[in-house]
Structure 1
Amino acid sequence: MTEPNVDIIDQLAGITPGSALDELRSHRQQARENAQRSFAALLEPEQPGTFGYDERYAVATLVAGLHGFDEASSFYRDLLSDAIDDETAVKRLAGIIDEVVTNNRVQGPFGIYREPQLANENRPGPDLRLTDEQRDALGARLSTAFQLAQILVLHPRDSRPEMLVPLSEAGWSTTDLVSLEQLIAFLAFQLRSAWGLRALAGTAPAPASAIAPDAAPPGSVATDENADVIALADEAHAAAADATGEPASLPADTLGTVGTPVRIYPELARPTHFVQHSLGWVPWLEPLAEDELTDRHREALVEDLRAKNPYFRLLVRDPDALEARTLTDMDIFFNVDDGIGRAERELSATVTSRVNGCVYCASVHSARASHESEAAGASRQADVQRLLDRGVGPGALNGGAATDLGDDLWNAIERASAVLTLSPLEFGEADVDVLRTAGLDDLQVIDIINGAAFFNWANRLMLGLGEPEVPKRFLDQHQA
């Protein structure tokens, strides 16, 4: 277990008390504190239940390794050692994780789109490769958890309901699966936040080597101090919740015959491409029913409207993790004191979602980017649509030009957010320099790092727990 009052992102980023970065992070104190609360809820909960500390730390060690963040791998390996009394067993497990990372370090994000009009962007790549000996040593629960982690880290758009069936058969309950996906997705945020801060400080490690996928062998309740932030968030979050909450009009079938039920929707009206209009979302796992919500669940939802929403009723199975995540989100996207504007934060979320392949998240946040730019006095809807239609372009991922979004600032944010989305991590001082050259100060750079990092969390939950649905009024825009 970690020492009390230690901020893990600060530790991984090498931030010392009283330093310039320490002071800048304090401008987003609610995000800072609730990112740490998220770590505590997901990695060190007081009551871990059937998802033990050893499993949590083992998955975290693998995830850090797949990101190529050696300092984070060592940190989580140390926690794993503390959680297992048998030194021989620890060494064996750590050795297997190292072997798995070495054999599965592939450039991401890659994968196959569910949306037919995006087929020309498909980048097939391998699933996790484990030997029979490794599977036997890990056991069914960790083997299947590692397979899920590799999908969510490297190719989240390959997520399908079928991938959850082996975990169900290995004994993962619905609640534990929600916590496992939250843990993996949270780490995608935590590691990028720390790495990005190191790049800002000029101490980012050299990127880890990885092979291209096509070259590899056979996706709290409000308190007084956060009330203003929540008030600012009400309109945007209500709009997102309305879009997310449109229920599927068709019954679901169930995959698997034992364990956790996994839903599929054979007749679902699925999107065919990236859009700026509202989409619905349907879960593959069973959300809590509204009448099952306890006072603690409702407190963790933060906003009453979310009780109508299947996505949040699914995530609230782990109420501590959801509450901390929500408050982190709100400070990152709605606290604009001294920082960059709302439209630019929503642009970062849109770029990240476009690169990861999350059509649902891109629909919500591209619309918000367009709306917020108009509210700021200059409509950028056409620029946002060009991003959705073309993607960021290979240049943005290789230090060159991206899809032109109309000015140097938006182009710089596009490039930085795209590079922050790569796995293993590659964001570096040159990427920070691009943002500074476009006119951003260091607090504004942190806002962009936070926005892209957070949507690497959000995308993985949306892609890994369910899928989007086209509302009836938009069906004519999605002819395959």
Structure 2
Amino acid sequence: MTIETALESRTTDWFADEVLGEGERRALWEQRPLITAHVGRTFDAVFGGDPQRLSEVERFSAARAAAEISGAGALAEAYGAELDALGEDVAEAAGPRLDAIVNFATIVAADPVHIGDAHYDALRAVGLGESALVTLTLLVGFVSYQVRALAALTALEGSADDPVAAPVPTAGIVKGLEDIDFTLAPLDWKPRVEVLEVSTATERELEVLDAMGPWARRHPFTLTLGRDAEVFFERDKLTDASMESIVHGDALPPAEREFAALVESRVTGCRYCAFVHGNASIKLGGDRDAVHAVIKDGIDADLGQRARAIADFSAELAVTPPAPTGAAVQRLRDAGLSTGEILDLSYAVAQFAWANRTMLPLGQTVKPE
């Protein structure tokens, strides 16, 4: 039997209604209905989860903080409006626990490569359990997806009217990356939180794991994200839509989406994601020389016109705050990419802005034993 999410089908699009409004950006957003549907369902899972794990105030406060540090003014305002609607609950939640949650969200959004055990210990100290740690990390990653979707749509529209928060230095996100040994050789991943125990997992948690494949009950990353089964399920569906969907005639080839994921991971500092998606790009028939060059030399590698254009746009979208330029969009067009292909490229980068912000904080990349 095909697995069905426990969430009801969506009837509204929060991101479009509350952030994009009417106009060209919304029209661009609606060109990829599979993306819009899964972003909407993921929003419901992220913000409609168990209030005993994280309250609505805590969730929307973390989201607003992540959007603000990422320079996404319209998104931060929309999350602020959700907080305003909660009224007195916001004042009642004030205190060390909420402060720690907001601080964590800010760091993960802006500088995920430098999250360590101490950051999770600080959250444990104010009462967050292991599942709440996973939920909060997933939430910040999802907001990071929205941030980059908004930035890409704005760049494609050619608009400068999006309210933007005070500029955030990008140095923090690249500091120390020169010391990271990027490679296409196999790597492993070790979690910082306690993983889901299969022997005590609920039927729903096992159902979600099994939907990933028979390996998911053994892999530490899937067992980590399995602590929030509904968000994990929707995240997986959004990943498929962002990285693999070719239902549209103007779809970007999956190999180039994987190359964009490599560039995003190289910029953000995620060795594991770079290893996985660099290899995936090659396996799918992508530009082997370009992949090896980015692994070795980073985004300044010597690349051909199309790979160069994809790398430049992906890198501009990957940094915090994202800053894709009209010039980068034009280089994509000059290299032969259609508007639809640029949308697909943007959502691939957005997906790995999220993926990096789960893989990096929740664990550490290690060499195989």
Q: Which residue of 2 aligns with 1:254?
A: none
What is residue 224 of structure 1 aligned with on the other side?
Answer: none
Q: How many residues align?
A: 349
Match of 1:141 among 88, 94, 97: 97
AA matched with 2:136? L
The equivalent position to 2:289 in structure 1, one of 371, 375, 382, is 382
Q: 2 CA distance for matches of 1:328 and 1:76?
A: 21
**Cα distance in structure 1, aligned partners of 2:254 and 2:168:** 36
Tell me the secondary structure at the aligned position of residue 149 of structure 1.
Answer: helix
Structural RMSD (CA): 2.4
CA contact (8 A) 2:63 2:79 kept: yes
2:262 corresponds to which residue? Answer: 350
Contact kept? 2:117, 2:192, Cα under 8 Å: yes
CA distance in 1, matches of 2:204, 2:261: 29
Check conservation: 2:29, 2:36, Cα contact below 8 A.
no
Q: What letter corresponds to residue 149 of structure 1 in structure 2?
A: A
Give 1:296 deviation, angstroms: 0.7
- How far residue 69 of structure 1 moved from its aligned partner, in angstroms, is 1.4
Aligned residue runs from structure 1 range 305-320, under 5 A? 305=214, 306-320=216-230
Aligned to 1:48: 51
Separation in 2, partners of 1:200, 1:18: 8
1:280 maps to which residue?
A: 188
Partners in 1 of 2:197 and 2:126 — Cα distance? 25
CA distance change for structure 1 residues 57 and 208 in 2, over 3 Å: closer, same or farther?
closer
Displacement of 1:336: 2.1
Determine which of 391, 398, 411 is the counterpart of 2:298: 391
Aligned residues of 2:53 and 2:132 also touching (Cα < 8 A) = yes
Residues 190 and 373 (structure 1 numbering): CA distance in 2 closer, same or farther, change over 3 Å? same
* 2:365 corresponds to: 468
Structure 2 match to 1:33: 37
Q: Measured at CA, do residues 392 and 272 of structure 1 come closer, stay the same or move farther in structure 2, by a change above 3 Å?
A: closer
Distance across 1 between alignment mates of 2:25 and 2:98: 40
Q: Which has the larger radius of gyration?
A: 1
Letter in 1 for 2:319: L
Q: Deviations over 1:220-249 (max 9, x none)?
A: xxxxxxxxxxxxxxxxxxxxxxxxxxxxxx
How many angstroms does 1:147 deviate by? 2.2
- The match for 2:12 among 6, 15, 24 is 6
Question: Contact 1:298–1:304 at 8 Å: present in 2 too?
Answer: no
* 1:251-279 Cα distance to aligned partner (Å, 9 max, x none): xxxxxxxxxxxxxxxxxxxx961011221
Q: Deviations over 1:449-474 (max 9, x none)?
A: 000000000001000000112114xx
Cα distance in structure 2, aligned partners of 1:208 and 1:53: 23
Q: 2:239 aligns with which of 329, 332, 337?
A: 329
Decide which moves more: 463-472 or 347-356.
Answer: 463-472
Distance in 1 (alpha carbons) for counterparts of 2:20 and 2:305: 28
The separation in 2 between residues aligned to 1:79 and 1:424, in whole angstroms, is 23
What is the distance in 1 between the residues matched to 2:25 and 2:299?
38
Deviation per CA, 1:351-401, whole angstroms, max 9, x where unpaired?
000000000110100111122226xxxxx33321211121113xxxxxxxx
Pair 49,410 (structure 1): closer, same or farther in 2 beyond 3 Å? same
Cα deviation for residue 342 of structure 1 reads 1.5
Q: Distance in 2 between matches of 1:421 and 1:389?
A: 19
For residues 408 and 213 of structure 1, do their structure 2 counterparts lie closer, same or farther at Cα, with a shift above 3 Å needed?
closer
Query: Which residue pairs with 1:366 in the alignment?
Result: 278
Superimposed CA distance per residue, residues 132-154 of structure 1 (whole angstroms, 9 cap, x where no aligned partner)? xxxxx942212211221122111
Q: Report how far residue 176 of structure 1 moved.
A: 0.7
Tell me if structure 1 keeps the 8 A contact 2:70–2:322. Answer: yes
- Partner amino acid, structure 2, of 1:189: Y
Q: How many Å separate the matches in 2 of 1:86 and 1:455?
A: 33
Change (3 A) 1:153 1:272: closer
Where in structure 2 are the equivalents of 1:130-169 lying within 5 Å? 138-169=94-125
For the residue of structure 2 that corresponds to 1:467, the secondary structure is strand
Change (3 A) 1:330 1:211: closer
Distance 1:33 1:150, change over 3 A: same
Are the structure 2 counterparts of residues 211 and 76 from structure 1 closer, same or farther at C-alpha, using a change threshold of 3 Å?
Answer: closer
CA contact (8 A) 1:9 1:194 kept: no
| Structure 1 residue runs without a partner (length 5+) | 91-136, 220-270, 375-379, 394-402, 473-480
SS at match of 1:320: helix
Aligned mates of 2:356, 2:152 — CA distance in 1: 18
Structure 1 distance, partners of 2:65, 2:116, is 21
- Residues 284 and 340 of structure 1: is their aligned pair in 2 closer, same or farther, counting only changes over 3 Å? same
1:442 aligns with 2:316: no
* 1:293 maps to which of 181, 187, 201: 201
- 1:72 matched to 2:75: yes
Which structure 2 residues correspond to residues 266-277 of structure 1 after superposition, within 5 A? 273-277=181-185
Write out per-residue CA displacement over residues 303-355 of structure 1, whole angstroms, 9 at most, x where no aligned residue. 23211211111111111100000000011111123211121000000000000
Partner of 2:81: helix, strand, or coil? Answer: helix
- Whether the 8 Å contact between 2:68 and 2:76 is mirrored in structure 1 is yes
Give the SS at the match of 2:80.
Answer: helix
Structure-1 separation of matches of 2:24 and 2:266: 36
CA contact (8 A) 2:68 2:165 kept: no
Within 5 Å, give how 1:417-428 maps onto structure 2.
Answer: 417-428=314-325
What secondary structure, in the 3-state scheme, does the structure 2 residue paired with 1:288 have?
coil
- Do residues 21 (structure 1) and 28 (structure 2) align? yes
Identify the match of residue 150 of structure 2 among 178, 190, 194: 194
Which amino acid letter does the alignment assign opposite residue 38 of structure 1?
A: T
8 Å contact 2:184–2:279 — kept in the other structure? yes
Residues in 2 aligned to 1:272 and 1:414: alpha-carbon distance in whole angstroms: 19
- Distance in 2 (CA, whole Å) between partners of 1:460 and 1:427 is 20
Aligned mate of 1:203, from 142, 151, 159: 159
